[in-house]
Amino acid sequence: MMEKIQAFLREVGRSAGVEDWIIEVLSKPEKVYKATLTIKMDDGTIRTFPAYRVQYNTARGPAKGGIRFHPNVTEEEVTALAFWMTIKNAVVNIPYGGGKGGVAVNPKELSRNELERLSRAYVRAFAEAFGVDKDIPAPDVYTNPQIMAWMLDEFETIVRRKEPGFITGKPISLGGSLVRDIATALGGFYVVEEVLRDVDLEKPTVAIQGFGNAGSNFARLASEAGWKVIAVSDSKGGIYDPDGLDIEEVLRTKKETGSVINYEGARRISNEELLTLDVDLLVPAAIENVITEKNVEEVKAKVILELANGPTTPEADRILQKKGVVVVPDVLANAGGVTVSYFEWVQNRTGEYWKEEEVKRKLSEKMKTAYKDVKEESEDLTKLREGAYRLAVKRVAEALRWRF
């Protein structure tokens, strides 16, 4: 994985005119913290869990990135994700470097009390790495506001002071920000509004793969905007209605039955079939590597908004570019979450908390400015990914030049 990142940096570095020494610095993480968390389970047995925190680059500010609880977490994965957070934070021009953390655990196998013990143990293991000016974690895969609350409480117990800005994605009552719960979807919506205007698509037809937080909230936003959402899916499958789905009813069905496939009045389809529907806007919002060289020729969408991380393989991306498809890359498309995390951090530091409309206004401005910057760096709309990468590397490079 790191070999791919280094190859990527060499390619983008040449394109951006960045010096070799900067590429060398960016090819390696600044700090990698590792620990083994030892937890007493509810039945009295003892289990251990590998844990990591990586601060990849902090030239532009303190490290920022989530903590994931997932059985497949590895040091290599966390390091790569910390690198991509460095890129993402630079794309939207917030004053952060990149960080990431994780524990190799299946949280679905843990009780609430075991999950709390694990969360607190994680903070104890890496407390020296964290701080409002050092490294600010957040939720990620299988972590949530409750876990952030436990981590905040543990950290404040250790440092013996209140420091709500140490972590973001917290409950509102502990200093969380309004809009954080829908920020990823809303940020993507603001960006794609601008893209659709540029490609002259006013009321697009939409297909959304993934109906978790990002996908479901995007579906609601699109429906409220008068766009026709004709297909959605979750891990169990998808539903399709060319006349448009009743998104509020889909949301109710998902909540009550556990899956969108139980929605009545639509044809069931597979996740793979959804990707090849004849729609204006395709929104992969689930897992990585779903658009590949095997299915890319069947993709008919005019615009793809990557709300998921890495849903398009490099090989497929090159083919989409040749086909003239506009791909809004993940480092821009799903950066609304970290942007509102930044707003949360600012509110914690100033003690001034913003109303919902103010957060939305600031997010809209930030995301639309980021899109404008990326577009200016791109040769054309089919090369937004290249433009985003160049822009990010240039911004990190500028910070490094001033420091050395």
Domain containing residue 301: CATH number: 3.40.50.720
Give per-residue pLDDT as tens, 218-258.
999 999 999 999 999 998 999 999 999 999 999 999 999 99
Out of 31, 64, 88, 100, the active site residue is 100
CB 39 within 8 A of CB 117: yes
pLDDT band of residue 3 (cuts 50, 70, 90) is: confident
Is 111 in the same domain as 222?
no
- Is 100 a catalytic site residue? yes
* 117 domain-assigned: yes
Is 65 in the same domain as 149?
yes
* 355 domain-assigned: no
In the predicted structure, residue 89 carries a pLDDT above the cut 80: yes
* 366 domain-assigned: no
pLDDT band of residue 4 (cuts 50, 70, 90) is: confident
Is 72 in the same domain as 129?
yes
- What is the span of the domain harbouring residue 322? 182-333
What is the reported pTM? 0.92
* 43 domain-assigned: yes
CB 312 within 8 A of CB 295: no
The predicted model gives 188-207 an average pLDDT of: 94
Is 193 in the same domain as 272?
yes
pLDDT band of residue 310 (cuts 50, 70, 90) is: confident
pLDDT band of residue 390 (cuts 50, 70, 90) is: very high
The predicted model gives 81-110 an average pLDDT of: 95
* 90 domain-assigned: yes
